[in-house]
Amino acid sequence: MKYIVNTQKTIEQANKDLEEAIIRNKFGVLHTHDLKATMKSKGVDFSDECRILEVCNPQKAKAVLSEDMSLNMVLPCRISVWEEKGQVKIGALKPTALLSSLSNSEELKSIAEEVEQTLLTIIEESK
């Protein structure tokens, strides 16, 4: 269900390259969550770096929601960049695995496969 790769890049460089790959692959970044900064603003000491990018392709999102509006709960897709034990990682949940547990629709399966392939391409281009 998880797709995770290691990179030799810094968090900042991996995040920058990830944003560029997202745009190149016709997705957009809706928001970037800086987990460490958010935790600090809530008074929680959190030492690990983690950026969570909410990404979307509006045409794919419309197709999913047209088939099953309740799937708004799993949109947008997320790609994360984080540091774990000194290693920078980039990863996402696979849409096919996620949607297979929520729907039997062949149309949604096809859309999930397309989106997943693009997300994996984005991650590979970023590492």
pLDDT tens by residue, 17-74: 999 999 999 999 999 999 999 999 999 999 899 999 999 999 999 999 999 999 999 9
Distance linking the first and last C-alpha atoms of the chain: 19
The pLDDT value recorded for residue 126 is 96
Query: Alpha carbon of 41 to those of 35, 44, 45, 46: distances in Å?
Result: 10, 7, 9, 10
Q: Do the Cβ atoms of 84 and 5 come closer than 8 Å?
A: no
| Average pLDDT of the residues of the chain | 96
In this prediction, residue 112 has a pLDDT band, given cuts at 50, 70 and 90, of: very high
Question: Residue for token digits 């390259």?
Answer: 17
State how beta strands 87-93 and 77-84 pair.
antiparallel
CB burial readout 111-123, b (16+ within 10 A) else e: bbeebbebbeebb
Which of 120, 92, 127, 97 has its CA nearest to residue 109?
A: 97
Q: Do the Cβ atoms of 9 and 91 come closer than 8 Å?
A: no
Q: Which CATH number is associated with domain 2-37+48-126?
A: 3.30.310.70
Helix axes 58-67, 106-126, angle to 10 degrees: 150
Q: Where are the domains of the chain?
A: 2-37+48-126
